[in-house]
Amino acid sequence: MKPYAFTFILPKFATMRTAAVALALLFGGGAAMAADADDVREGLKLARQICADCHAVRAAEVQSPNRNAPSFEDIAGISGITAIALKVALRSSHREMPNLILNEDEIDRIVAYILSLPGDR
């Protein structure tokens, strides 16, 4: 796993990191989110439309178009990654990441797709 992956997912701001940890503890923060095949399929479709300009979104793609953006497989392989952490990350501005405005269904589907990718969590 690339060393920058974890800092990319959780914002550098201490308050955001604290909020992410608190949310994970509050909601159980399990690594896997119950998702059906339709959510995963729609998540890939959304990722290809919204995220693929910067990220390698498909399984086994190793190099993202933007060399500073981790692949979705690298993100999925972050130790302890949870649906809650991914949702917080998708709702938070990051350096070099655009401020995305996604609705709850879009976020849930993209998160379901990322968590369906291989990775040691």
What pLDDT, on a 0 to 100 scale, did the predictor assign at position 100?
Answer: 84
- The CATH architecture that domain 5-116 belongs to is Orthogonal Bundle (1.10)
Dump pLDDT digits (tens) for 33-84: 456 899 999 999 999 999 999 999 998 888 999 999 999 999 999 999 999 9
Residue count of the chain, please give it.
121
Whole-angstrom distance, CA of residue 107 vs CA of residue 71: 17
Q: Mean pLDDT highest for which of 14-18, 25-29, 104-108?
A: 104-108
Give the start-to-end residue ranges of the domains of the chain: 5-116
